[in-house]
Structure formats: structure tokens, C-alpha cells
Structure 1
Amino acid sequence: MNYERLAIPDVVLMTPRVFGDDRGFFMETFRHSEFVKHCGEHTFVQDNHSKSGHGILRGLHYQLRQPQGKLVRVTHGEVYDVAVDLRRSSPTFGQWVGALLNADNRQMLWVPPGFAHGFYVTSEEAEFQYKCTDYYAPGDEYSLHWNDAELAIDWPLVSGEPITSAKDEQGSSLADAPVFD
């Protein structure tokens, strides 16, 4: 596995070594000892799997009292994945990084606790899988608005406005959002 720190160094793009032949392929998707060495001491407690259609944008989500680190990957299709630093004490507070994750490049993105996370589906459909370091807590859900001018995320929108949920459309601006210390 190759671990690459992005412009926000706590966010790590992981590229697995893929061994393939005419029968198919094999790759290791997670090894705890290597993950700890490159990303820190974190334990995953929940795995999630979602399917979304073309043009759907999910996010930017986070939990404040039970922050979740997420190790995300795409197993079918393609998404543009985004992490926003919401740690007020961080030198990269309010900044974002993005990566194109798809079933062909098989890359994964480590989004640490303290970040908002979201993705936009650029393919016909996408299946998105992720491991979380804390449990989903419905009473602790927050969302930044995907199009907040202060964040100025450069989403690769294919055609017009993305399809979002009513809840995500009500997301906060960075200026009004509760954030981490």
C-alpha cells in the first residue's frame, strides 16, 4: 500500500498494490499495523455501504460529540471525495482537499476525526464503502452546505446543480457551523 499525505497532511490517499492476471485480481485493502504507522492509532467500529446515482452529492457531514474518522473507497463507479478541516486549532482550518476515487484506481481516502466529509457521483452510479472510528449518532449530525462560498470547493459538477437531500440543502455555512476546538 502506498500512503500519500495530501495538502492537508492528516488526510491520506492510499493506493493499494493490485496483483492481477486473466483470472482477476487480488489486493489488500487494510492492514492495521501499516494504517497505524501512516495514519495514527484508530480503531474502526462500523462499516457502511451506500449506492448513489449520477449527479448525487452527499455531505458535507460530520459528528461533533462523537467525531468519526472514515476510511472511504469506491467499489463500483466513481466519486469526487472531499474532506474539510473543521479543527479550529489546525493551521488548515476551513481548507479542503479532494480526490477522485473509482473502482479502477482502487484508491482509498483516510478522513480523520475533526473533518466534514462528502462526495459527488461522477459516474452513472457508484457504490461507496467506508469504515468509521465511531458509531453513527443521529442526534449528533451536522452538515456544511456543499456550495458554501467561504469553502469554495471545486466540485466537478457534470451538469448544473447536484442532487442533494433536503437535509443537506439546509447545511450550515462554515461561518455558522459548530466546529471542533
Structure 2
Amino acid sequence: MSEVSAAVVLAAGDTVFPLGLPIGEIILGLIAFGVVFFVLKKYAFPQFEKAYEARTEAIEGGIARAEQAQAQAQEALQQYKAQLADARAEAARIRDDARAEGQQIVIELREQAQAESERIVAQGQAALAAQRAQIVAELRGDLGRIAVDLAGRVVGESLEDEARRRGTVDRFLDELDATSAPAGK
């Protein structure tokens, strides 16, 4: 259809407004809009407002809880850092104590080793002195026998008598000691 036939159809009915709609439909539309608006305003919009307020409250509460949790986490972090610093200080103190104790043990072990060394040296010297005395006694006996034999050959008489032999040996050894003492000093 053409535009002319549409205008004729509209003109045949009720009064036509410049928009091209009949007045009855406009009024009916306005009443329907008013009823829908009233129902929405009375029942739906308050529910939307409640939902909006609940949502806002949940978000703000969530933010507050998040801030509180963050503050607690920050406090826990500070406590952890303090405990960690204390633990490090304690570990350093324990290390220092262990070093000092180790040095003390080393000093004690050195002292014990020195004392043991001195004891061993003293025992060795005592053993040496005992062996020297034993060797000197054996040598005196051997030297005494040899001296008696030699003296008997030189003198030409037998020095078998024990008393004479002892006297001769002792006199010989005393003379030997007297002559060797100044040379030894």
C-alpha cells in the first residue's frame, strides 16, 4: 500500500494527533504505563533497593573483613620477623658459645698433651737414669774384675782374697772417678 492509503485509513477513525495515533490508544497506553509504573514502584523497586543495599553492605563488609585480615596478616608477619630475628640471634649466640667452647677444649687438650708429653719425657729420663745406673753398676763390676785381673798380673800376686780385692777395686774406681770428674765438668 501506499502512503496515501495509510493516511486514509487513519483519517477514517477517531481524531488523529500529529503522531498519527488515536487519542484512545494514547490514554490507554498512559494508564497502562501508570499502572505498571505504580506496581514497579510499590513492589519491584523496593526489592531492587533492598538487593542493592544488601549487595553494597556485603561488598563494604567484605572490604572491612579484607582490611581486618590484612591487618592481622601484617601483625603476624611482624611477629614472624621478630621471631626470626630472635632465632637468628640465638643461633649466633649458640655458634659463638660453641666456638668458645671448642677453643677451650683445644686449649685443654693442648695442656693435657703437654702434661702427657712432660710425663712421658720424665718417665723416659727416669728409665734412662735407671738404665744408666744399672749399666754403670754392671760396668763397675766388669771393670772391677778386669782391674783385679790386671792388677794381679802387674803385681804378680793373686788378689783372690775378697777383702783385698774389694779394697783395691774401690781405690781404683775412686781414682778413676777423681780423674774423670774434672774432665767431665
TM-score range, shorter chain: under 0.3
TM-score with structure 2 length normalisation? 0.13
TM-score with structure 1 length normalisation? 0.13
Greater relative contact order (Cα < 8 A, sep 6+): 1
Max Rg structure: 2
| Higher helix content, 1 or 2 | 2
